[in-house]
Amino acid sequence: MRSAIVFSALLGMALAAPAPAPRPQEIDYAGVDAAPDPVLVSPAYDVEQQAAPARKRNVVIKKRDGDCSPQPKGYGPVASPDTPEAFLSNPVLAAMASNAPTPDGYSNVFTNLDGSLSAPKYMGLTTLTSFDTLECASLCDQASGCVAFNMYIERDPSVDTNAVSCPDPPSVTNYKCTLWGVPVVPEEANNKGQYRNTFHVVITASNAYNKASPPPEISGFDGPTALGGAINAPVPTSGQNSYMGYKYFPFNQAQGYNTATCAAACTSETDYNSRHPAADGTYQRC
């Protein structure tokens, strides 16, 4: 929902007598649609996700040879010629990383490196159908304790490699999203891939993002308090309106996610109402 990201609801507390029944909490969608598009993060559902192993380090794994069975189809373009070198130098993949948006609430750590993260507090991996930093951020937002994510493109074998029958099969291109429980740094992008028999798994277009710090406290207001979504203004038992309208602040170079902007609008609303009270001298405070 576009409006859930870009508008701020104002809540008022009644100072005196009951007012008319609550009006619908409506938004001028035509005005919102006419404004520049903000960066939206859409929740993800029904996504197959690999959980983090209980122990990641100091584990000895006995390698086995594959059986040439087909592997999941990749969603990205395959380089021509189908070589690791062509994959790493593919300008289409590089452009995906360079042009990817930084999700709201995150800061970019690095862009378009040829290595994925190897860091503490690994929280799992999901293969996506496109190079989608917004979807990867959504997975992080839904995972308790996630504070960073890594979006990258990986060259994988199309079959489970076997040293005799299929040592170096054609490749597939996968979009990978990994989640992390600690902030990450560029120096940790040192996972360059591996060999599966003679097939070379390599990584490119690697971007990483850390969650931004919580917004600062604002004088005169409680919080900040993290919520799972936008709110519906409550209706007191008296029937008094508590919804006071909304203010729309489109994201652009000068206006980002800034709670002080909404606080200023709330204070301004209260100031205006105090100068224009009801006939009995009461007014609503935001």
**Tell me: the pLDDT tens digits for 238-281?**
666 677 777 776 544 244 456 777 888 888 888 988 999 888 88
Q: Number of C-alpha atoms within 13 angstroms, CB side, residue 188?
A: 18
Whether residue 182 contacts residue 148, with contact meaning beta carbons closer than 8 Å, is answered with: yes
- pLDDT for position 275: 92
CA 72 – CA 173 distance, rounded (Å): 10
- pLDDT for position 129: 96
Helix (H, G, I), strand (E, B), or coil: what is residue 45?
Answer: coil
CA 198 – CA 193 distance, rounded (Å): 13
Amino acid code (one letter) for 243? Y
Instruction: Give the rounded distance of the alpha carbon of 259 from its chain centre.
Output: 19
- Supply φ then ψ for residue 259, to 5 degrees: -65, -25
Q: How many Å from the N-terminal Cα to the C-terminal Cα in the chain?
A: 25
Looking only at the bridges linking them, the beta strands covering 171-180 and 122-128 are antiparallel
Whether residue 105 contacts residue 211, with contact meaning beta carbons closer than 8 Å, is answered with: yes
CA 47 – CA 140 distance, rounded (Å): 13
- pLDDT for position 164: 93
Question: Tokens 């009644």 map to which residue?
Answer: 14
- pLDDT for position 91: 97
Whether residue 234 contacts residue 242, with contact meaning beta carbons closer than 8 Å, is answered with: yes
- pLDDT for position 29: 63
* Interior angle at CA 29, CA 25 and CA 30, nearest 5: 145
- pLDDT for position 66: 85
CA 38 – CA 3 distance, rounded (Å): 10
Burial class from Cβ neighbours inside 10 Å (0-12, 13-18, 19+) for residue 51 reads exposed
Helix (H, G, I), strand (E, B), or coil: what is residue 34?
Answer: helix
Under DSSP, the state recorded for 152 is E
pLDDT beneath 50: ranges in the chain: 1-22, 38-49, 55-62, 251-256
* Number of neighbouring beta carbons within 10 Å of residue 91: 8
Residue 236 to residues 7, 21, 99, 109, 241, Cα–Cα distance (Å): 23, 10, 47, 45, 8
